[in-house]
Protein backbone atom coordinates (compact mmCIF):
# COMPACT_ATOMS: atom_id res chain seq x y z
CA UNK A 1 0.00 0.00 0.00
CA UNK A 2 1.52 3.30 -1.06
CA UNK A 3 0.15 6.83 -0.73
CA UNK A 4 -1.59 8.57 -3.60
CA UNK A 5 1.16 11.18 -3.75
CA UNK A 6 3.89 8.51 -3.82
CA UNK A 7 2.03 6.65 -6.57
CA UNK A 8 1.75 9.85 -8.64
CA UNK A 9 5.46 10.53 -8.31
CA UNK A 10 6.36 6.96 -9.30
CA UNK A 11 3.98 7.24 -12.22
CA UNK A 12 5.81 10.42 -13.29
CA UNK A 13 9.09 8.54 -13.09
CA UNK A 14 7.61 5.74 -15.22
CA UNK A 15 6.87 8.33 -17.89
CA UNK A 16 10.39 9.75 -17.57
CA UNK A 17 11.93 6.32 -18.07
CA UNK A 18 9.88 5.81 -21.23
CA UNK A 19 10.98 9.27 -22.39
CA UNK A 20 14.60 8.23 -21.77
CA UNK A 21 14.04 5.16 -23.93
CA UNK A 22 12.55 7.33 -26.67
CA UNK A 23 15.44 9.81 -26.39
CA UNK A 24 18.05 7.07 -26.82
CA UNK A 25 16.20 5.51 -29.73
CA UNK A 26 16.24 8.90 -31.39
CA UNK A 27 19.99 9.33 -30.72
CA UNK A 28 20.55 5.82 -32.09
CA UNK A 29 18.90 6.88 -35.36
CA UNK A 30 20.96 10.09 -35.46
CA UNK A 31 24.24 8.16 -35.00
CA UNK A 32 23.24 5.70 -37.70
CA UNK A 33 22.50 8.48 -40.18
CA UNK A 34 26.01 9.89 -39.57
CA UNK A 35 27.64 6.50 -40.22
CA UNK A 36 28.46 5.76 -36.58
CA UNK A 37 26.90 2.31 -36.55
CA UNK A 38 28.66 1.25 -33.35
CA UNK A 39 27.31 4.23 -31.42
CA UNK A 40 23.91 3.56 -32.98
CA UNK A 41 24.06 0.02 -31.55
CA UNK A 42 25.18 1.37 -28.16
CA UNK A 43 22.22 3.78 -27.98
CA UNK A 44 19.79 1.13 -29.19
CA UNK A 45 20.83 -1.00 -26.23
CA UNK A 46 20.48 2.04 -24.00
CA UNK A 47 16.92 2.32 -25.31
CA UNK A 48 16.28 -1.30 -24.34
CA UNK A 49 17.73 -0.67 -20.87
CA UNK A 50 15.48 2.34 -20.30
CA UNK A 51 12.48 0.30 -21.36
CA UNK A 52 13.49 -2.28 -18.76
CA UNK A 53 13.74 0.50 -16.12
CA UNK A 54 10.24 1.63 -17.05
CA UNK A 55 8.82 -1.89 -16.90
CA UNK A 56 10.37 -2.48 -13.49
CA UNK A 57 8.41 0.56 -12.25
CA UNK A 58 5.31 -0.67 -14.07
CA UNK A 59 5.48 -4.02 -12.26
CA UNK A 60 6.07 -2.35 -8.88
CA UNK A 61 3.09 -0.02 -9.29
CA UNK A 62 0.95 -2.91 -10.45
CA UNK A 63 2.02 -4.98 -7.44
CA UNK A 64 1.09 -2.01 -5.22
CA UNK A 65 -2.39 -2.02 -6.78
CA UNK A 66 -1.96 1.44 -8.29
CA UNK A 67 -4.12 2.45 -11.25
CA UNK A 68 -1.47 3.23 -13.84
CA UNK A 69 -1.67 6.35 -15.91
CA UNK A 70 0.29 5.90 -19.14
CA UNK A 71 0.85 9.37 -20.54
CA UNK A 72 2.01 10.93 -23.76
CA UNK A 73 5.74 10.60 -24.33
CA UNK A 74 7.23 13.90 -25.51
CA UNK A 75 9.27 14.00 -28.70
CA UNK A 76 13.01 14.28 -28.02
CA UNK A 77 14.49 17.55 -29.31
CA UNK A 78 17.76 16.72 -31.00
CA UNK A 79 19.27 18.92 -33.63
CA UNK A 80 22.57 18.13 -35.33
CA UNK A 81 24.23 16.19 -32.51
CA UNK A 82 27.91 15.47 -33.11
CA UNK A 83 29.44 12.14 -32.06
CA UNK A 84 30.63 13.55 -28.73
CA UNK A 85 27.49 15.70 -28.48
CA UNK A 86 25.34 12.57 -28.40
CA UNK A 87 27.14 11.33 -25.30
CA UNK A 88 27.29 14.75 -23.65
CA UNK A 89 23.53 15.20 -24.14
CA UNK A 90 23.01 11.73 -22.65
CA UNK A 91 25.16 12.51 -19.63
CA UNK A 92 23.24 15.73 -19.11
CA UNK A 93 19.98 13.78 -19.28
CA UNK A 94 21.20 11.11 -16.86
CA UNK A 95 22.31 13.77 -14.36
CA UNK A 96 18.77 15.13 -14.45
CA UNK A 97 17.39 11.61 -13.93
CA UNK A 98 19.70 11.17 -10.95
CA UNK A 99 18.30 14.35 -9.40
CA UNK A 100 14.72 13.13 -9.96
CA UNK A 101 15.48 9.74 -8.42
CA UNK A 102 17.20 11.31 -5.42
CA UNK A 103 14.14 13.51 -4.86
CA UNK A 104 11.88 10.46 -5.14
CA UNK A 105 14.04 8.56 -2.69
CA UNK A 106 13.93 11.52 -0.26
CA UNK A 107 10.16 11.65 -0.56
CA UNK A 108 9.69 7.92 0.11
CA UNK A 109 11.93 8.29 3.17
CA UNK A 110 9.91 11.25 4.48
CA UNK A 111 6.74 9.21 3.99
CA UNK A 112 8.29 6.29 5.91
CA UNK A 113 7.45 4.16 2.86
CA UNK A 114 10.25 1.64 3.39
CA UNK A 115 9.22 -0.70 0.58
CA UNK A 116 9.35 2.11 -1.98
CA UNK A 117 12.55 3.49 -0.50
CA UNK A 118 14.15 0.05 -0.86
CA UNK A 119 12.80 -0.32 -4.37
CA UNK A 120 14.22 3.06 -5.41
CA UNK A 121 17.73 2.29 -4.17
CA UNK A 122 18.14 -0.02 -7.19
CA UNK A 123 17.60 3.01 -9.47
CA UNK A 124 19.85 5.27 -7.41
CA UNK A 125 22.70 2.75 -7.70
CA UNK A 126 22.03 2.17 -11.40
CA UNK A 127 22.48 5.92 -12.01
CA UNK A 128 26.04 5.83 -10.65
CA UNK A 129 26.93 3.19 -13.26
CA UNK A 130 25.13 5.04 -16.06
CA UNK A 131 26.91 8.32 -15.38
CA UNK A 132 30.29 6.59 -14.98
CA UNK A 133 29.91 4.76 -18.31
CA UNK A 134 29.01 7.96 -20.15
CA UNK A 135 31.86 9.89 -18.53
CA UNK A 136 34.27 7.17 -19.60
CA UNK A 137 33.09 7.27 -23.23
CA UNK A 138 33.24 11.09 -23.30
CA UNK A 139 36.81 10.99 -21.91
CA UNK A 140 37.85 8.56 -24.65
CA UNK A 141 36.33 10.73 -27.38
CA UNK A 142 38.07 13.82 -25.97
CA UNK A 143 41.41 11.98 -26.03
CA UNK A 144 41.15 11.19 -29.75
CA UNK A 145 39.73 14.63 -30.61
CA UNK A 146 38.97 14.89 -34.31
CA UNK A 147 41.17 11.99 -35.33
CA UNK A 148 38.99 9.93 -37.69
CA UNK A 149 40.80 6.65 -37.04
CA UNK A 150 40.46 7.16 -33.29
CA UNK A 151 36.74 7.94 -33.57
CA UNK A 152 36.13 4.87 -35.73
CA UNK A 153 38.04 2.71 -33.22
CA UNK A 154 35.77 3.96 -30.41
CA UNK A 155 32.73 3.45 -32.63
CA UNK A 156 33.80 -0.14 -33.30
CA UNK A 157 34.12 -0.78 -29.58
CA UNK A 158 30.66 0.71 -28.96
CA UNK A 159 29.33 -1.73 -31.55
CA UNK A 160 30.27 -4.70 -29.35
CA UNK A 161 27.76 -3.80 -26.61
CA UNK A 162 25.04 -6.40 -26.13
CA UNK A 163 21.79 -6.17 -24.19
CA UNK A 164 21.57 -7.76 -20.78
CA UNK A 165 18.42 -6.81 -18.91
CA UNK A 166 19.76 -4.96 -15.84
CA UNK A 167 16.53 -5.51 -13.91
CA UNK A 168 16.73 -9.31 -13.92
DSSP state string for the chain: ---HHHHHHHHHHHHHHHHHHHHHHHHHHHHHHTT-HHHHHHHHHHHHHHHHHHHHHHHHHHHTT------PPPPP---S--HHHHHHHHHHHHHHHHHHHHHHHHHHHHTT-HHHHHHHHHHHHHHHHHHHHHHHHHHHHHHHTT-HHHHHHHHHHHTT-----TT-
Q: Does 10 bind ligand FEO (CB under 6 A)?
A: no
- Cβ-based nearer residue to ligand FEO, 20 or 30: 20
Contacting ligand FEO (CB under 6 A), which of 20, 30, 41, 116?
Answer: 20
Q: Binding mask 123-142 vs ligand FEO (x if CB under 6 A, - otherwise)?
A: -------x------------
- Please tell me the distance from the alpha carbon of residue 165 to that of residue 168, in angstroms, as a whole number: 6
- Least Å distance, CB 153 to ligand FEO, is 25
Q: Does 47 bind ligand FEO (CB under 6 A)?
A: no
Q: Binding mask 96-115 vs ligand FEO (x if CB under 6 A, - otherwise)?
A: -x------------------
- Cβ-based nearer residue to ligand FEO, 104 or 151: 104
Q: Does 50 bind ligand FEO (CB under 6 A)?
A: yes
Largest CA distance in the chain: 56
- Please tell me the distance from the alpha carbon of residue 13 to that of residue 97, in angstroms, as a whole number: 9
- Least Å distance, CB 112 to ligand FEO, is 25
Contacting ligand FEO (CB under 6 A), which of 18, 53, 57, 86?
Answer: 53
- Least Å distance, CB 83 to ligand FEO, is 20
Q: Does 94 bind ligand FEO (CB under 6 A)?
A: yes
Binding residues (CB under 6 A) for ligand FEO: these are: 17, 20, 50, 53, 94, 97, 130
Amino acid sequence: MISKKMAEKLNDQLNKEFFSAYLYLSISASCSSQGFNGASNWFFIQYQEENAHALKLFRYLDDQNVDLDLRTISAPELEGLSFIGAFEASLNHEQKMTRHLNELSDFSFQEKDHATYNFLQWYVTEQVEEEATLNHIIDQIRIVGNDGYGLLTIDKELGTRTFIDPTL
